[in-house]
Structure 1
Amino acid sequence: MDPNPKPNSNEDPSLNLKVIHWEDFQQELARLVSLSSALHQAHHKKLSLQRRLQSLIEVQAESLSRKNELDEISQRVEDRKLVMGNMLMQAKVVEEHVKTKEEHLGCEIKSLLVSGTSLSVARKRLQESDRLLSGERGHGRLRNLQKVLRARQQYMISQVSFLYPVKTLIGATEELELDFFPGSSRPETPGEYADEIKQRNQGPVAISGVQLSMLPFTQMSFFTDKKQVQRSTTALGYIAHDIEQLLNYVGAKSLGPRHVLANLKEL
């Protein structure tokens, strides 16, 4: 047998056949057994490494997944921190606004307290005024006194009207129109009229103890003699005296006994 036979050219070149002699068979078999054992050990190690790698891959994947979750949680935490920061700034602004409002409300409360105190004082004064008006010197008493005053005034006007005619004109101004008595006569000449006026105005006229300087009557003769002048001044004196008492009673300011009509307007 040829120890090194040449391969047939017609055979498949991919088939690498090795011819083993019988005397080398034991050695080759032992070598194949050792190679098979080594291959089996390598395959076993490969499976073991594959399992380890698979577990490591799973651990790595789990770690990566958890890392991603932690990153997401960290991002959420950062977003929450940003939101909390914005809310904190808004809370500070609202707190400052509330403090301003509190100060403003405090000022308003103080003003309301002052106004309430003033209102209470005004209410007490109003109650006191109501009490005074409803008392003995109240509004009813004043109205009754005014009625008595009007009655007395009408009575005195009627008494004065007996002395000389009185005509009241109601309009923008109040005037008294005084005429001659039927028995009076005006002097014919201007000289006689001036002498008569001068004689009637020589002395002062007293009304309730108050001396009045009489103005000269240059337009017409109101009275026929000195007696009528005294009677009229006496009646006017009573009127002035009563008006003074009423002004003192109601607390009004008197313009003096000479200003009868002005004092009546004050009443």
Structure 2
Amino acid sequence: MNQGTKAMAELCLLVALWILPLLTTNHAVCPSHQSSYFTGADKEICCDYCAAGEEMKARCTSNNPKPTCEPCPEGFFNQPKTIYKCRVCNPCDKSSIELKPCDKSSDAVCKCPAGSEPKNDKETACLCNKGNHIVANQCVPCPQGHFSREDNSICRPWTNCSATGEEQQEPGSSTEDVKCSRPKILPSQVFRSSTSTKAPVSGKATTSHPRATEGNIVFNNATTVNNSSTNWKFLSFILIAVILLMVSATIFLIMFVHMCQRKEKRNFRGCRIPIQEVTELSKQMTV
């Protein structure tokens, strides 16, 4: 036996002496539906997995290979053949496309629209930059005459300044709206105000200066305020008159009752109308 063969034989003997104790220990070879678990006595046993959508609350024992399992709470999931606790669901954001919702056994599956950028590796949230919007699951630029100031927002049309009687100061863009000037009095409004405040004289052409028209408008406003003040004074006068009339009627009624009571004390038969007194007097004279 040469030196090389002898060295090889010695190496094999050392490997066998190192592996032999491992083969003689309580090492368990578990089937696919179970996992190995070391007990407190350094003994390895096989335990069943919890079902999909469940989490393990207590390990199995050497007498019972089934662990204690409980269903995952709402909004959580757990994959099959796992010994870990349930994990929280990661729903798809409104900026992402949901390919599959989260269920008890698996998380949601999301995908970003074409043209947008994913914010995480699961693509649960995406970025469609301002000046764009999502149409048919695609992030595309806003059409002409529309804008969007924020990311992941819809495009809105530019403001029509002329529709509100304003003038355009700055043009709009894909990210900003047009800027309009303050409202101004249109010529049609000035003409309508002048014709409503003063009727034209027949047979004569009338012209109105803008400053005179504005003065007429202010004068009409002042006249309206004066008329309103006059109406309030008239109503106040009527209210005071009604109150005084009611007070006078109350005083007269009290005086009348008091007079009747005084006549009763003087053995007067009561307050009667003149016809009753004449009738009673005629009866006495007849007797």
TM-score of the superposed pair, with normalisation by structure 2: 0.23
Of Structure 1 and Structure 2, the greater helix share is in: 1
What is the TM-score of this pair, normalised by structure 1? 0.24
Q: Which has the higher strand share?
A: 2
* More contact order relative to length (CA 8 Å, sep ≥ 6): 1
